[in-house]
Amino acid sequence: MGRVIVVGAGVIGLSCAVRLLDAGHRVDVLARELPRETTSATAAAIWYPYRASPPERVLAWSRTSYDVFAGLAAERPDSGVVLREGTEVARDRDEKPWWSDAVPDLHETLDVPAGYDGGWAFTAPVVEMPVYLDWLAARVLEAGGSITRLNLHGLPRPGDGGPDAVVDCSGLGAKFLAEDPSVHPVQGQVVLVEQVGLERWWLDGTAEEGPTYVVPRTHDIVIGGTDVEGEWSRTPSRDVAAAILRRALRLVPALAGAEVLGHKVGLRPARTQVRVEKVGDVVHCYGHGGAGVTLSWGCADEVTGLLG
């Protein structure tokens, strides 16, 4: 057991911090952006292994997270995690999704809007990120950890009076902190609208314009989205928002007339493969692309295991 510095206070950094504290380490989280300011706070956030690789590791991490989220939904209503049924519409249902083993109740459905052939219905964890990030941060503090705002120009060095180990959960920041040129942004825009009594989530990954998803939360509905490789801007576009709403309306006609509450843009920290790797006394854990929430608990367990 030792003193660990976790860099990053998004869903990955906080989940790692919780697991490391559970394992008996002393943990201090350092982050330029505090939890509600991170990319993680923008996520929709539905359990779905999207834009993350390699498939075998992603499947294992996703399965672990699914089980943890199901437990939180059952036992910790204050965590902001709920289980919701929903449908991923499809035009070709010959093959089950590659991640279907991680989901207990996936089945074919023909109950889809006009224009689609059918789809896959299943229960997925839906995570209200602002609530959940606050809950994770509170768990870190309650367990004796700390969270401090600090803009780092390099990773802290373990040893020599410093921490015993460093866990690098800096997301897109790893491009600079880990000097990893393969980390890049994939920009995503979402529109928040008022809750209109929607219970199910809907997802359409078939459209050329980008993934379309409608994710109901307690007080609002998150509607996405876009998927722009290499784009660094975090400014929402009015035209893009209008296009997102048009696509969402095809998927969920009940959204017609829903009041728009806000717009958000986040930069997914993408990489050819998610990096969970120990190099000396530094464990890197970044590059979760469009699935950081989905992979979070599986990766946090692996990071904790790597630190012994």
* Residues forming the site for ligand FAD (CB under 6 A): 7-13, 30-33, 38-40, 42-46, 48, 150-152, 169-173, 177, 188, 190, 224-225, 266, 268-269, 286, 288-294
Nearer to ligand FAD, 39 or 249 (CB): 39
Q: What is the largest CA-CA distance in the chain?
A: 65
Tell me the C-alpha distance between 59 and 55, whole Å.
6
Nearer to ligand FAD, 231 or 281 (CB): 231
Phi-psi group of 231: left, alpha or beta (phi > 0 → left; psi -120 to 50 → alpha; rest → beta)? beta
Kindly list the distances between the CA atom of residue 258 and the CA atoms of 43, 128, 194, 222, 246, in Å, as whole numbers in the listed order. Answer: 20, 20, 6, 12, 12
**Least distance to ligand FAD from the beta carbon of 23, Å?**
19
**Least distance to ligand FAD from the beta carbon of 114, Å?**
25
Nearer to ligand FAD, 119 or 292 (CB): 292
Whether residue 178 contacts residue 195, with contact meaning beta carbons closer than 8 Å, is answered with no
Whether residue 175 contacts residue 62, with contact meaning beta carbons closer than 8 Å, is answered with no
Nearer to ligand FAD, 184 or 268 (CB): 268
**Least distance to ligand FAD from the beta carbon of 186, Å?**
8
Whether residue 28 contacts residue 148, with contact meaning beta carbons closer than 8 Å, is answered with yes
Nearer to ligand FAD, 119 or 289 (CB): 289
**Least distance to ligand FAD from the beta carbon of 49, Å?**
8
Query: By CB neighbour count within 10 A (0-12 exposed, 13-18 middle, 19+ buried), where does 273 fall?
Result: middle
**Least distance to ligand FAD from the beta carbon of 47, Å?**
7
